[in-house]
Amino acid sequence: MRAAVISDTHDLLRQEVTDIMESCDVIIHAGDVNTQKLAEQLEKKKPLYLVRGNNDGEWASGLPETLWFELEGVSFYMIHNKREIPEVRREADVIIYGHTHNYDCQKEGNTLWLNPGSCGKRRFSLPITMAVLELHNGSYEVERIDLPLAEESAPDRKNTNLEEIYTLERGVAVKRIMKGMDRGESIRMIAEKWRLPENFVEQVCRIRVTHPGVNAAGIVDKMEANDTIKYAAGSHIRKGGQ
């Protein structure tokens, strides 16, 4: 199971976030949706786990301020503001919160504390972020996702091809492909999930298979040496995230 973890959207649902949600099974939102319209929009997309934030008005009076739930054998506790967590509470595998707009992910004992940051309106110079949790049989993996700033956002997907709209950094893209390989996903499945050109995914897979032990940075270096990245996806896949 894949869970899209977001917070502090403040009445803004970015296209990049929507695209990632399409590859997920559930949405976890740590509050400050701001409007009932957006909450209903999220609920129509996937099963939604949502708590009330300090900027959620009267429309959200029926939303819980804290929420306990379990997915794939992993227990969750969610609240908007970390400072309001009661001292006495049950143990959880993952505690999710928001409010600060600043991504944070730390393991304390057996508990993961996760703030996905904000993927809504940008606050000061903070990055725009969210997280994706891979859940399976009581275990989990968390991935931080950094989204492009508004001025860097991809153009209208209806009028452009994948090579033109793909804006994630090369290192991040390669790491996602490697994780997909580890899960046994096909080239087409990986390409569709992350909206990547299939020939780019194929080249990454080929290099990893023919160079056992190579990491993401090594794959990027080999592709750059052969000018493969430029051929596969043009200048829109930028170096970084290594």
CATH number of the domain located at residue range(s) 2-151 in this protein: 3.60.21.10
Q: What is the mean pLDDT of residues 17-34?
A: 95
Q: Provide the pLDDT confidence category of residue 42 given band limits of 50, 70 and 90.
A: very high
Q: Is 188 helix (H, G, I), strand (E, B) or coil?
A: helix
Task: Report the alpha-carbon distance of residue 70 to residue 124 in Å, rounded.
Answer: 34
Q: Is 62 helix (H, G, I), strand (E, B) or coil?
A: coil
Q: Where are the domains of the chain?
A: 2-151, 160-236
Lowest mean pLDDT, pick from 31-40, 137-146, 233-242: 233-242
Q: Provide the pLDDT confidence category of residue 52 given band limits of 50, 70 and 90.
A: very high
pLDDT, tens digit (0-9, with 9 covering 90-100), for 211-242: 989 998 888 888 777 654 444 444 344 434 43
Q: Tokens for 169?
A: 């950094």
Asked whether residue 98 carries a pLDDT value surpassing 90, the answer given is yes
Task: Report the alpha-carbon distance of residue 196 to residue 203 in Å, rounded.
Answer: 12
Residue predicted with more confidence, 192 or 67? 67
pLDDT, tens digit (0-9, with 9 covering 90-100), for 113-131: 999 999 988 877 788 999 9
Residue predicted with more confidence, 101 or 194? 101
| Cα-based distances in Å from 6 to 10, 59, 124, 148 | 11, 20, 18, 15
Q: Provide the pLDDT confidence category of residue 70 given band limits of 50, 70 and 90.
A: very high
Task: Report the alpha-carbon distance of residue 156 to residue 101 in Å, rounded.
Answer: 26
Residue predicted with more confidence, 35 or 172? 35
Q: Provide the pLDDT confidence category of residue 88 given band limits of 50, 70 and 90.
A: low
Q: What is the pLDDT of residue 236?
A: 41
Q: Provide the pLDDT confidence category of residue 96 given band limits of 50, 70 and 90.
A: very high
Q: What is the pLDDT of residue 141?
A: 94
Task: Report the helix count and the strand count for the chain, using DSSP H and E.
Answer: 8, 10
Task: Report the alpha-carbon distance of residue 131 to residue 72 in Å, rounded.
Answer: 17
pLDDT, tens digit (0-9, with 9 covering 90-100), for 151-198: 444 444 444 344 433 434 677 788 889 988 988 888 988 888 777 888
Q: What is the pLDDT of residue 234?
A: 41
Q: What is the pLDDT of residue 89?
A: 67
Q: What is the pLDDT of residue 2?
A: 95
Q: What is the mean pLDDT of residues 138-150?
A: 87
